[in-house]
Structure 1
């Protein structure tokens, strides 16, 4: 989940003081302070040893996330726009670049967990150094300050993406510890009645899809364009754990006829027989969460399932996954309210709405919209070069900051990946 530039001026969804809202520079300066503070809060419960965990190549240590997001502000804002800026350590550019090829060489992604120095104290000092420099820049009276503020807001949205990655990467790393450590104190799940599966009908037609207006958006969300959507129905809730257990008990993981060929090969190779982090204990399903091991709540959305599993389930259920165009069109009927990172739940909850809880797989590949052109320079690398072999998800999750959400937002993962907060919602032809 990586950022990119847009040709439009970004505007945050975070609440801001009234006077800041009238001044875009002040608004973005306030957003910067809140975003940076949230990252510190997320890291606060962690021990120094926790900050080093890297459980696989797809994941990164918390320490690296904190440093990389800081490098982003330094590399793309301070170095090019502040002539007298001095980095605390020039070697950080090599250590904390991710895969911006045009920004220079970088440390191997799969070896980030081997970098024990700089430690957390030094990384926090690096963050403070860059925060002070950005604060001074944003309070200056430069003629190009609005353009710089636009880049600062882009950096904030980039950091929000890494806040989600920080907690989900941490969950994956903790899951390898037999002690099943607790990141946040356990809390009982809310009581909720079983919600029958119902569908909402949509007429479809020739509709416009993609980002519109001057609010923040990544380049892959546009250009806005017309598509024809056939009449369809979409489920009013995500697939629940109760639904998924029925799939398991019906032999869904052993019925090859339900699976795409590649998905079946992955299922066999990986030994999948349930969502990631699930196990059975005395005849009851349990799962590991950031709040420790807990019984699977039957009416919470199922989470940590791959595209292959989601597609097989939809076929078993006599339905299908929605296209991203169908999902976006349906989302317009629902305000962006739900269980996001700010709730502190850190797990899907029962009784939720259209947004939040879990990212929802669609049947759409992550490909460019008609007329898409990536921006020039290093900031234009991220989305365009990943538009192959990945699938689009929509809607945000319990680990996604609320300010990231909009109807046109597209995130994307490879179809075999499960460690993110990934779930599904069914659709069917009308």
Structure 2
């Protein structure tokens, strides 16, 4: 719905924003109430903050942007700004900070939210880029949902009895073809019209893509297992120099959370130890693992441009869509999003979410590694602050696209760009392969 915000009356926009704020907070509360006080303050991995830090950081960002900046109100807790500045303290160091305790954190975020709702009641959605179409509110909603996914990843890293539950995703189905030939062409990458799109998604710009072949669905656990059991982690020919160095340094032998026991491959998922589901997309692999598998399979990873072309271009009309299935926002029939299911859905589970060319599960289930570095689009302008995107551009980060089962629909645009270090495995990331077409395929 977000692309239609400009068509809403002020009161309709207020109601939409309030609903999104409430929905995101409900998820945050669920993720933090699910564990006891010890788990809230414990650091479950040096890669992650304690859950209580994420919770208070969510409130602090809401206070900074909506209470103080948009609302012009007095600070609620100016004394904690530095504690919850993500650029001031590395995640590994945050447990040693004098953080708010769980009870104080809950009280703080409630007080901030009360003031935000009062600001929302009085703000006029015009007069500055920050409040046009409620952009600042949308930025904060997305920020909370992104941290909710981060907290969900922290739940995956915690030990102990399971505390989260969700129904199983829909069943998969056999795909008619494992690959799709994409004819190539010119499409409009990025966006200039999505009112809540973030700065690195902007502006829309024409991109020419040469013909290529892309996997119909993400690589499955079953397919990746063949790489594992075939000695893929022991053979340097499949790995880049940096990838092979990382494999040896980190002693990688399989995706994270996989374990071989009595001849059976098991995985741990939110505290559940279960037989590896062969029909689900592989997950918790780093960029180097995805790259090595692709080479082993005689393929490569798609570029970010190829990924978005497959996800948004309709060759029949020449239009660039918002999503693979069209312009309507994601529904449960389209994609596995929003923590609705606590796992990727089996391959073939969402035929209604297919692109016009028949490429499936591009949105939801797992973030997909691409071969591209994180670079700005032509005409990029940092807004509303440099630290969202500008400071990360360069060759240190690889691009991920599409969103996971833990990504909320308000974030999972066809234009949304995620990035991480190529060694990261705690995120809900997998991949699909691409390749150059053979001459006979081009006719």
Find the aligned partners of 1:116 and 1:181 in 2 and give their Cα distance: 28
Query: What residue number does 2:178 align with?
Result: 198
Matched, 1:370 2:360: no
Query: What residue number does 1:349 align with?
Result: 345
CA change 1:214–1:298 in 2 (3 A) is: closer
TM-score (norm 2): 0.84
Query: What residue number does 2:408 align with?
Result: 401
Find the aligned partners of 1:21 and 1:90 in 2 and give their Cα distance: 31
Query: What residue number does 2:14 align with?
Result: 25
* Equivalent residue for 2:434, pick from 412, 427, 430: 427
CA change 1:368–1:46 in 2 (3 A) is: same
* Equivalent residue for 1:39, pick from 11, 23, 28: 28
> Tell me, what secondary structure is at the counterpart of 1:339?
coil
Give 1:67-82 correspondences, 5 Å limit.
Answer: 67-82=56-71
Deviation, structure 1 residue 94? 1.6
Aligned residues: 403
Deviation, structure 1 residue 132? 0.4
> Tell me, what secondary structure is at the counterpart of 1:96?
coil
Do the aligned partners of 1:260 and 1:308 also contact (CA within 8 Å) in 2? yes
Do the aligned partners of 1:197 and 1:237 also contact (CA within 8 Å) in 2? no
Find the aligned partners of 2:270 and 2:304 in 1 and give their Cα distance: 29
CA change 1:119–1:183 in 2 (3 A) is: same
What RMSD in Å do the two structures reach over aligned CA positions? 2.5
Which of the pair has the greater relative contact order for Cα pairs under 8 Å at 6+ separation?
1
Query: What residue number does 1:220 align with?
Result: 200
Find the aligned partners of 1:78 and 1:411 in 2 and give their Cα distance: 27
> Tell me, what secondary structure is at the counterpart of 1:233?
strand
* Equivalent residue for 1:96, pick from 75, 80, 84: 84
Query: What residue number does 2:2 align with?
Result: 12
CA change 1:60–1:196 in 2 (3 A) is: farther
Do the aligned partners of 1:13 and 1:402 also contact (CA within 8 Å) in 2? no
Q: Deviations over 1:245-285 (max 9, x none)?
A: 11111111111010000100000011100000110111111
Query: What residue number does 1:360 align with?
Result: 368
Q: Deviations over 1:63-115 (max 9, x none)?
A: 1111101101111221234455241x33221211112xxxxxx4453222234
- Deviation larger for 190-199 or 22-31: 190-199
Find the aligned partners of 2:65 and 2:428 in 1 and give their Cα distance: 30
* Equivalent residue for 2:285, pick from 290, 294, 305: 305
CA change 1:73–1:258 in 2 (3 A) is: same
Find the aligned partners of 1:20 and 1:329 in 2 and give their Cα distance: 34
Query: What residue number does 1:318 align with?
Result: 298
Give 1:44-63 correspondences, 5 Å limit.
Answer: 44-63=33-52
* Equivalent residue for 2:337, pick from 331, 340, 343: 340
Find the aligned partners of 1:83 and 1:407 in 2 and give their Cα distance: 34
Deviation, structure 1 residue 197? 5.8
Q: Tell me, which stretches of 5 or more residues in structure 1 are unaligned?
A: 1-10, 100-105
CA change 1:398–1:291 in 2 (3 A) is: farther
Deviation, structure 1 residue 46? 1.1
- Deviation larger for 260-269 or 19-28: 19-28
Q: Deviations over 1:355-375 (max 9, x none)?
A: 211000111111111222323
Query: What residue number does 2:318 align with?
Result: none
Do the aligned partners of 1:199 and 1:234 also contact (CA within 8 Å) in 2? yes
Q: Deviations over 1:207-260 (max 9, x none)?
A: 321113143211111222222211011111100000011111111111101000
Query: What residue number does 1:6 align with?
Result: none
- Deviation larger for 187-196 or 161-170: 187-196
Find the aligned partners of 1:163 and 1:227 in 2 and give their Cα distance: 33
Deviation, structure 1 residue 12? 3.4
CA change 1:340–1:36 in 2 (3 A) is: same
- Deviation larger for 217-226 or 205-214: 205-214
Deviation, structure 1 residue 396? 0.5
Deviation, structure 1 residue 190? 6.2
Q: Tell me, which stretches of 5 or more residues in structure 2 are unaligned?
A: 315-323, 350-360, 438-443
CA change 1:22–1:231 in 2 (3 A) is: farther
- Deviation larger for 77-86 or 185-194: 185-194
Query: What residue number does 1:131 align with?
Result: 113
Deviation, structure 1 residue 171? 1.4
Do the aligned partners of 2:363 and 2:414 also contact (CA within 8 Å) in 1? no
Find the aligned partners of 1:407 and 1:81 in 2 and give their Cα distance: 28
